[in-house]
Amino acid sequence: MRYFGTAPFDHASRDLDGVLIVNLGTPAAPTSGAVRRYLAQFLSDPRVIELPRVLWWLILHGVILRIRPRRSAKAYREIWGADGSPLMVLSQALTNGVAKKLDPNGERPLAVRMAMSYGEPSIRSVLRELGAMNLRRLVVLPLYPQYSATTTASVFDAIADELKTWRRVPSLRFIADYAHDPAWTEAVAASVRHYLASHPMPDRVLLSFHGIPQRYFRNGDHYFCHCQGTAQRITQAAGLPSERLAVTFQSRVGREPWLKPYTDLTLAAWPAQGIKRVAVLCPGFAVDCLETLEEIAMQNREAFLHAGGESFDYIPALNDSPAHIDALAGIVRSELGGWPALAADWRAADEQARLAARAQAARALEQSIDQ
């Protein structure tokens, strides 16, 4: 087996701390071909679809990839901006903000990068870039506030698959979830309070989370529990009356039962029950994307109003807001600060003298090997 490394390696090079911020991914363009390539990668992940591989391959390539790309491409075109996919643009802006917050003057040996689980930039390519910079310690932050094996664990798989091929494996800290973080909770709650300050209190404030099959929950995925805990903390922090709050799950596909209640069916039924004014936020999404901008703010809004609703407002994701940047930077900073400090003699040593000593030792080792 060949292991990734840099040859000839400069043993006097400075060690690097890396932060990898990972989101799900997006097609490269709002076209059927680009969406087909993206979906083929996404839906081939066994973490996402837990079915026998042969059976799922036949369904995926025989049915889904023949039908869904055209429909999804149309939906992507509805939200695509002049600068590209909202998920890509906003994820990069968020990453840039966190990088600036962690190292405002660019003085630390620290690199903060964004990667995507599916599509580009890939986790592998970004890790290779960091590895070539002499990566010593790595913090991985998947942009999923609530843990699920379908999302967070998939990122871990990709990290592990890449690092197991490296000659020098960095120290690793992996943030499995962060919805319990007080600063993040307050950022979401503040966005709700900001909305309520300029709008009448709606009949319901709906928290819509992405769904997963019920089967995954029964088999031990903690996602449903994390979503309920998130809803409780946001409700308390925002000062919302509990009777005005509802939690639902969106984006289901296929015929098997997913987490309930379903967002679309709930919204369609509410007007007949006298619930005519709603505000919706999606606190499982770090940045706005197809599932928030098109599915919620367009499709579900239209369905609710068509069913007799009078007012439908979507409260945007935190995106690259200062509060979101501060919260994520604080989470990452606590992980970076958790590593032991370098030994006292290394800390006190002059940087140039230390590098010279390492270079001399490396040359001596190379000479001994050659002999």
Same domain flag for 283 and 169: no
Same domain flag for 194 and 48: no
b/e 84-113 (16+ beta carbons within 10 angstroms → b): ebbbbbbbbbbbebbbebbbeeeeeebbbb
CATH value at residue 262: 3.40.50.1400
DSSP string computed for 206-256: EEEEE--BHHHHHTT--HHHHHHHHHHHHHHHHT--GGGEEEEEE---SSS
**Listed residue (285, 306, 272) closest to 203, CA to CA:** 272
Domain extent, residue 237, equals 182-314
Same domain flag for 227 and 160: no
Q: Which two tokens stand for residue 239?
A: 């000062």
Same domain flag for 155 and 277: no
Same domain flag for 84 and 212: no
Same domain flag for 47 and 162: yes
Number of compact structural domains in the chain: 2
In this structure, are residues 277 and 270 in contact, taking their beta carbons and an 8 Å threshold?
A: no
Same domain flag for 250 and 167: no
pLDDT tens for each residue of the chain, 371 residues long:
678 887 777 776 788 999 999 999 999 999 999 999 999 999 999 999 999 999 999 999 999 999 999 999 999 999 999 999 999 999 999 999 999 999 998 888 999 999 999 999 999 999 999 999 999 999 999 999 999 999 999 999 999 999 999 999 999 999 999 999 999 999 999 999 999 999 999 999 999 999 999 999 999 999 999 999 999 999 999 999 999 999 999 999 989 999 999 999 999 999 999 999 999 999 999 999 999 999 999 999 999 999 999 999 999 999 999 999 999 999 999 999 888 764 333 344 445 555 565 666 666 666 666 66
Same domain flag for 72 and 50: yes
**Listed residue (182, 184, 191) closest to 328, CA to CA:** 184
Cα–Cα distance for residue pair 348/107, rounded to 1 Å = 18
Cα–Cα distance for residue pair 134/136, rounded to 1 Å = 6
Same domain flag for 125 and 250: no
Can you state the angle between helices 86-102 and 322-336, rounded to 10 degrees?
A: 60
Q: Which two tokens stand for residue 187?
A: 């950022």
Residue 363 lies in a domain: no
Same domain flag for 20 and 152: yes
Same domain flag for 83 and 104: yes
- pLDDT confidence of residue 5: 80
Cα–Cα distance for residue pair 359/370, rounded to 1 Å = 16
